[in-house]
Chains A and B, each alone.
Chain A
Amino acid sequence: MIRVALRRFAQALLTALAASLLVWAMLPLAPGDPAYRILYSQTQKEPLPAEIEALRHEMGLDKPLPLQYAQWLGKVARGDLARSWRTGQPVAEEISRRLPATLTLVGLALVVSVAVALLLALISAAFRDRWPDRVIRVYTQIGAALPTFLFGLLALQYIVVGAGVGKVLSGGALQMAILPALIIGIDRAAGWTQLLRASLIEAQEAGFAQVARARGARPRRILLIHALPNAALPFLTAIGVSVGALLGGSPIIEELFTWPGLGSYTVAALSARDFPVIQAFVLISALLYVAASLLIDLAAIALDPRLREAHP
């Protein structure tokens, strides 16, 4: 088991390295000269050839590409994410000021969506084809079809403005994250509920569930002791895949609730073509995604004895 886990860890490291290569390649492979773009975005004037040449040398753009990558990777490993072209501030500093707020929001949204999906799917599977199941299926279909920002707008209108609960201007504190996290979480939970319900029903009909029933087990015991762990494997995989999407989807909700997180900062950087910031955001998303996949895989290995066997 330890060997399988170590192998999976090594794979994750390789994936992270490959992701970093792609992220780095965004800069030299994008059309146009980076030095020119930096100078232009800072002064909004046509820069002189001598200025461009000086900056190219300063940034090391005149060196061979593999060396540039190695130097960039070394800096990233030390936490140096270069300076924003737009503001001239170190990107690492700007991000570390905003990342906790985003992680709070995304983390809370993840907890909400897993809890909602787990609860609703269990109710659905326990009351299959009866009214609780039908109501939940209507929610999952609407939730999966509608975009997140629509929920957000409706919540703003009716909960914050209408009922006076919560705030439009929120400061990044945990209690303020509850409303936006609920919106992201409930929206995200719709698809997961569908998936988990289907897996639960499949597991409830499996041979081992029938045998447990023939031994006199109650439906609740079959659902929780046998069906849930077996249905958890595809569910875990879906959660792992969604972590990246949650992070990528946060800008819209952050914008809506004026949340001081990474999302709104990145949107501003995107419109200004502020490359180091975009690079940093993509890198952080990729690393979080790799880390989440690794955690999910290790959880699956712990859950399923069949995965503990080393396969060539």
Chain B
Amino acid sequence: MSPVLDCRNLSVSYGPTPVVHGLSFTIAPGQCLALVGSSGSGKTSVARAILGMQGPTARIGGQILVEGRDMSRATERDWRALRGLRIGYVAQDPFAACDPLRSVGHHLSEAWRARGLSPDPAEISRRLTAIGIEDAPRIALRAPHCWSGGMLQRASIAAASAHAPPLIIADEPSSALDADRADGILTALRASGAAILLISHDLALVQRQADRIVILDQGHCVESLDTRELGGQAHHPVTQALLAASQSLPEGTPTPRHAEPRHAEPLIRVQDIARRFHGDGPEVGQVSFSVIPSQTTGISGPSGSGKSTVLKMLAGLERPDRGLIERAPSLARPGAIMPIFQNPAASLDALWPVWRSVAEPAQAQHRMNRNQQKDLAAELLARVGLAAIDPEARPSELSLGQCQRVAIARAIAARPAVLIADEPTSALDTLSRARIGDLLAGLVAEGMALVVASHDPWLHARLNARRVEVARAAECTA
């Protein structure tokens, strides 16, 4: 059978340096091929090139054959004839992929309307029902932000496979979702019957779902293998590192645990707090827990269950409607509770050199001159394992994982007693995730109290967290 997709010696370059070098692979009908690598390895550039959406500044070398047809000299019109009909596409973040002003039903019907067709509303409902959505005609009228991430991604898959394309490109389709839903999403993708080019950094997930695996490192293919061969011996070091980082539980690196915490007295005691959206259904059900030095409290629950709201209430940014939060008097000073955010690049000032961001919380507590700030920043950067980077660098010059470590350095600059981390690893690839996990575990071992909200069981296990489940889903009024 002739392949659905045949890439021969594909290279992609923006400016003088190529980001993808001489990549070759084929995908047979119905096959699932995974392109695996850490962030910056060129995976997304390959996906965009295969959709003809690499942008005007990119240069493509080699050949891309879609169902035997050479697309090297294809015009935008030629590509448009393939998109949606012959090649489907599923994006990483389902919320970003949907127009926020329109209903999910509209998002799905776009698959037809984009091609100048008008779908039957009954057909939209039928497709939504087929992916497990109850009461589809009514739910389809709701805006994307009212949907859960997993359901919205299923709707996106339904839209991508609307015209039964022989190939679907899925760019990290499950990495924005809860880990236990990732397999469900990939199963739904495979159920469409199309060949799949799966872009991922999660080798463990890929191992369960893909037929073949191509490992990318800095734009080079370092290994191409059958999934059954994975886990054997004699892999390339990059493959081994990815494999180690994606193990669902960290083995051999138990969290250093203090048998007797120095201060057994809780810093924050939370009793039966609950909070509602104004007037309408509960956003956070009742939860109770204590925040203790040298321990990690892990808040888990599905997307939209109010994990972030619990953290905001802990930090005093929002008040609970019911229940009590008692904070130790020592937390009354500024900087005693410091946040770490999900998106490290967005949480750093893009125009500031790294040293300035890192020293800012300390500077806010007592004035320092430039040299003192730079010295402090260098010390803190060394503490988070970034001694090698230039403190004058801007966030855009660093990787996401490095940015997150800069954000952690900034948080500990305030000498906090409690660190509050909201999904600190969900934007990161598995290698960076492992490093952040180690760093946070080290800080807890030094006596800090950590409260982490995450849907990633790996992180909770790595930090040896006492789990707090937030179960109630948010009600949406629109």
Whether, in the assembled complex, A306 has its beta carbon less than 8 Å from a beta carbon of chain B, the answer is: yes
Which residues on A sit within 8 Å (CB–CB) of B156? 211
Contact with A along B409-441 (1 / 0, CB 8 A): 000000000000000000000000000000000
- Find chain B residues with CB under 8 A from A309 CB: 277, 476-478
Cβ B143 vs Cβ A305 within 8 A:
yes
Binary CB contact string for chain A from 203 to 224 against chain B (1 if under 8 A, 0 otherwise)? 0001110111111111001000
Closest chain B residue to A218 by CB distance?
B80
Per-residue CB contact flags for chain A residues 299-312 toward chain B (1 = under 8 Å, else 0) read 00001111011111
Asked if B277 contacts A208 (CB within 8 A), the reply is: no
A291 to chain B, nearest CB (A): 25
CB distance from B107 to the nearest CB of A (A): 8
B97 at the interface (CB under 8 A from A): yes
Which B residues are in CB contact (< 8 Å) with A248? Answer: none
How many residues of chain A are within 8 Å of chain B by beta carbon?
27
- CB of B368, distance to nearest CB on chain A (Å): 37
**CB closest residue in chain B, given A304:** B101
**Interface range on chain B: under 10, 10 to 19, 20 to 34, or 35 or more?**
35 or more
Could you mark each residue 138-157 of chain B with 1 if its beta carbon is under 8 Å from any beta carbon of chain A, else 0? Answer: 00000101100000000010
CB distance from B312 to the nearest CB of A (A): 13
Closest Cβ of chain B: how far from A89's Cβ, in Å?
Answer: 51
In the complex, the answer to whether B110 meets A215 with C-beta atoms within 8 Å is yes
Proximity string of chain B (103-135) to chain A, C-beta cutoff 8 Å, 1 when within and 0 when not:
100000011011100000000000000000000
On chain B, the residues within 8 Å of A211 by CB distance are 89, 91, 97-98, 156
Within 8 A of A (CB), among B187-214: none
Q: Is the CB of A310 within 8 A of B91?
A: no
**Is A215's CB under 8 angstroms from B100's CB?**
no
Whether the Cβ atoms of A208 and B84 lie closer than 8 Å is no
* A312 to B113 CA separation, bound complex (whole angstroms): 38
Interface flags, B61-105, vs A, CB<8A=1, else 0: 000000000000000000011111101010101001111110100
Q: In the complex, what residues of A have CB within 8 A of residue B145's CB? A: 305-306
Does chain B have a CB within 8 A of A170?
no
Does any Cβ of A come within 8 Å of B278's Cβ? yes
**Chain A neighbourhood of B114, CB < 8 A:** 212, 215-218, 221
List B contacts of A214 (CB < 8 A): 51, 53, 83-84, 87, 89, 91
* B100:A306 contact, CB within 8 angstroms: yes
Please indicate the chain B residues that have their CB under 8 angstroms from the CB of A310 in the complex.
Answer: 277-280, 477
Indicate which residue in B87, B99, B113, B278 contacts A208 across the interface (CB closer than 8 Å): B99
Hey, which chain B residues are within 8 Å of A305, CB to CB?
100-101, 103, 143, 145-146, 478
B100 & A216 in contact (Cβ 8 Å cutoff): no
Across the interface, do A207 and B91 meet the contact criterion of CB distance under 8 Å? yes
Given contacts A230-B99, A309-B477, A310-B277, whether A212 and B110 have CB atoms under 8 Å apart is yes
> Which residues of B sit under 8 angstroms from A221, Cβ to Cβ?
113-114
CB distance A208 to B111 under 8 Å?
Answer: no
Mostly, the B contact residues are loop
* Cβ-neighbour of B80 out of A207, A216, A311 (below 8 A): A216
Question: Does B159 sit at the interface, judged by CB under 8 A?
Answer: yes
Which single residue of chain B is at the shortest CB-CB distance from A229? B101
Residue of A nearest to B169 (CB): A214
Most chain B CB atoms below 10 A, which of A210, A213, A214, A217:
A214
CB under 8 Å from chain B, chain A span 20-59: none
- A216 and B99 contact, Cβ closer than 8 Å, known pairs A207-B93, A221-B114: no
B62 CB → nearest A CB, Å: 21
* Residue A226 is within 8 A (CB to CB) of chain B in the complex: yes
A215–B84 touching, CB < 8 Å: yes
Residues on B with C-beta less than 8 A from A208 are 96-100
A207-B83 in contact given A216-B114, A229-B101 (Cβ < 8 Å): no
Residues of B within 8 A of A206 (CB): 96
What residue of chain A has the Cβ atom nearest to residue B87's Cβ?
Answer: A214
Smallest CB separation, A208 vs chain B (Å): 4
| Contact A311 B110, CB 8 Å, known A208-B98, A230-B101 | no
Most chain A Cβ neighbours within 10 Å, of B87, B100, B277: B100
With A226-B99, A305-B101 already in contact, the answer to whether A216 and B83 are too (CB < 8 A) is yes
Measured CB to CB, the closest approach of chain B to A228, in angstroms, equals 10
Whole-angstrom CA separation of A216 from B159 in the bound complex: 12
Q: List 12 contacting pairs A-B, 8 Å CB cutoff, sorted by A.
A: A1-B478, A207-B97, A208-B99, A211-B156, A214-B89, A216-B81, A216-B114, A304-B100, A305-B478, A310-B277, A310-B278, A310-B280
Which chain A residues have a beta carbon within 8 Å of chain B's beta carbons?
1, 3, 206-208, 210-218, 221, 226, 229-230, 303-306, 308-312
Q: Told that A211-B98, A230-B100, A306-B100 touch, could you supply 10 new A-B pairs with CB distance under 8 A?
A: A3-B279, A206-B96, A208-B99, A213-B53, A213-B83, A216-B85, A221-B114, A304-B100, A309-B277, A309-B477
Which residues of B pack against A, CB within 8 Å? 51, 53, 80-85, 87, 89, 91, 93, 96-101, 103, 110-111, 113-115, 143, 145-146, 156, 159-160, 277-280, 476-478
Q: Top 5 nearest A-B pairs by Cβ distance?
A: A207-B96, A216-B84, A217-B114, A305-B143, A214-B89
